[in-house]
Amino acid sequence: MASPAPALAESPAPDRRPRVGILALQGAVREHVEAVRALGAEAVLVRLPSDMAGLDALILPGGESTTMRRLIDLYGLREPILAMARQGAPMLGTCAGMILLANRLADDEEPVLCLLDATVQRNAYGRQLESFEADLDIPAIGDEPLHGVFIRAPVVSELGPGVEVLARDEADRPIAVRQGRVLATAFHPELTGDRRLHRLLLGMIDR
Q: How many whole angstroms separate alpha carbon 178 and alpha carbon 26?
A: 24
Listed in sequence order, the residues at least 6 apart from 26 whose beta carbon sits closer than 8 Å to its beta carbon are 63, 64, 67, 68, 71
Catalytic residues: 95, 188, 190
CA atoms within 13 A on the CB side of 193: 0
CB-based burial, 23-46: b 16+ in 10 Å, e otherwise: bbbbbbbebbbebbeebebbbbeb
CA distances from 132 to 75, 115, 119, 187 (A): 33, 28, 23, 10
Q: How many whole angstroms separate alpha carbon 101 and alpha carbon 87?
A: 16
Contact 202, 18 (CB under 8 A): yes
Q: How many other β-carbons are positioned within 10 Å of the β-carbon of residue 85?
A: 19
